[in-house]
Amino acid sequence: MKRILIVKTTSMGDVIHALPAVQDILQHFPDAQIDWLVEESFADIPRLHPHVQKVFTIAMRRWRKQLLSCQTWREINAVKRAIATQAYDAIIDVQGLMKSAWVARWARGPRYGYDAHSIREPLASRLYQHKFAISYQQHAVTRIRTLVALSLGYAAPQDFPDYGLTSNQSKVIDLPEVLHLPELCWIALHATSRDSKLWPEAHWVALGQYYAAQGLAMFLPWASAEERARAERIASQVNQTQLSQAVVLPKLGLQQLAQVIPLAKFAVGVDTGLSHLAAALDTPVVALYTDTDPRLTGVAGGRKAAAINLGGKQKIPDVAAVLSAINHVTA
């Protein structure tokens, strides 16, 4: 049995990008034990994968703010002891940063990673015993799958990624009845980390009204008070058509959203981790970029559902382009 530790700590979209490597490993080593080291905020992502056995969590962002606290050092030592309990055949740092390379040293076993010319922080490569040159000029999912393949000695995969996620539909919380009916709703992932990444509210309203006329409900999740207010504004305007086909969901955690998203016919989302999650859950996705370039880190569709990335830096996709893209991913 191969024992492998994947080190991918942040952020949500980046952690999701590493999931197909788990399926690749299992294809070549079906009895492999695969563990994961991740930032506590994103631990629910590898926990969604049925073949990731142990998930070790760190809290770098929180620890940095409380370095003089005894509690911080107790937590750090506890994680170090937990990780060092078992020796690994391969510790693969697919993050490629100093912080990830450093915490990878807490585990026992040979460490693998990118060489100094293949990562943003070249010093990190000095902490690996085995390193590989992997071109930046390819999508992050491809880079990670290639690194893991080279580390474990099999050919780099050339097929579409399989994210391998599962969601327990029997645990869906109490939500509007229409949500439990297949292909009667779509999900609008309108929230993101920066205002510059937002899609105009008027565009969301127009999209919602278009599908409301076809009997397709628009569901709007949210996490913060600001996001809830935006969702309510959009829903209010969509529902002015008297079709009442826009619903603001209750506040949901990541595990709950992972149960809800696959029920939608498709997802439309801005540059947010939830758009990547939708693709990983085999939901057709149209991802909207207004402030970043999706070429190398955009949403990557899997083997069962397509994804299209629209827009880019200072390029706001219009509603017509989004409708056309939705037709393509749902065809």
Pairwise CA distance, residues 32 & 12, whole Å: 24
pTM over 0.75: yes
Tokens 């205002």 belong to residue: 195
pLDDT of residue 181: 52
Mean pLDDT to the nearest integer, 49-76: 95
Closest CA to 327 of 299, 308, 311: 308
CB 107 within 8 A of CB 56: no
The answer to whether the Cα torsion of 21, 27, 29, 30 is positive or negative is positive
Which CATH fold topology does 169-330 show? Rossmann fold (3.40.50)
Q: Does 11 sit behind a cis peptide bond, omega within 30 degrees of 0 on the bond before it?
A: yes
Number of Cβ within a 10 Å radius of residue 128: 23
CB 26 within 8 A of CB 6: no
- pLDDT band at residue 223 using 50, 70 and 90 as cut-offs: very high
Question: 3-152: which CATH architecture?
Answer: 3-Layer(aba) Sandwich (3.40)
CB 184 within 8 A of CB 61: no
Residues 6+ apart with CB under 8 A from 65: none
Mean pLDDT to the nearest integer, 148-156: 98
Pairwise CA distance, residues 276 & 299, whole Å: 5
Is the pLDDT at 242 greater than 70? The verdict is: no
The answer to whether the Cα torsion of 269, 275, 278, 284 is positive or negative is positive
pLDDT of residue 269: 98
CB 56 within 8 A of CB 82: yes
Mean pLDDT to the nearest integer, 15-41: 98
DSSP 251: P
- Do the domains 3-152 and 169-330 sit in the same CATH topology, yes or no? yes
Tokens (6 digits) for 303: 């083997």
Is the pLDDT at 260 greater than 60? The verdict is: yes
Q: What is the DSSP string of 58-100?
A: E-HHHHHHTTT-HHHHHHHHHHHHHHTTSB-SEEEE-S-SHHH
- pLDDT band at residue 234 using 50, 70 and 90 as cut-offs: very high
Give me the half-sphere count of Cα atoms (radius 13 Å) on the Cβ side of residue 85.
9
Is the pLDDT at 161 greater than 90? The verdict is: yes
Closest CA to 212 of 177, 228, 236, 180: 236
CB 220 within 8 A of CB 234: yes
Closest CA to 11 of 277, 234, 281, 245: 277
Mean pLDDT for all residues in the chain:
93
What are the boundaries of each domain within the chain?
3-152, 169-330
Model pLDDT for residues 165-195, shown as the tens digit of each residue = 975 544 555 555 555 554 589 999 999 999 9
143's enclosing H/E stretch is helix 140-152
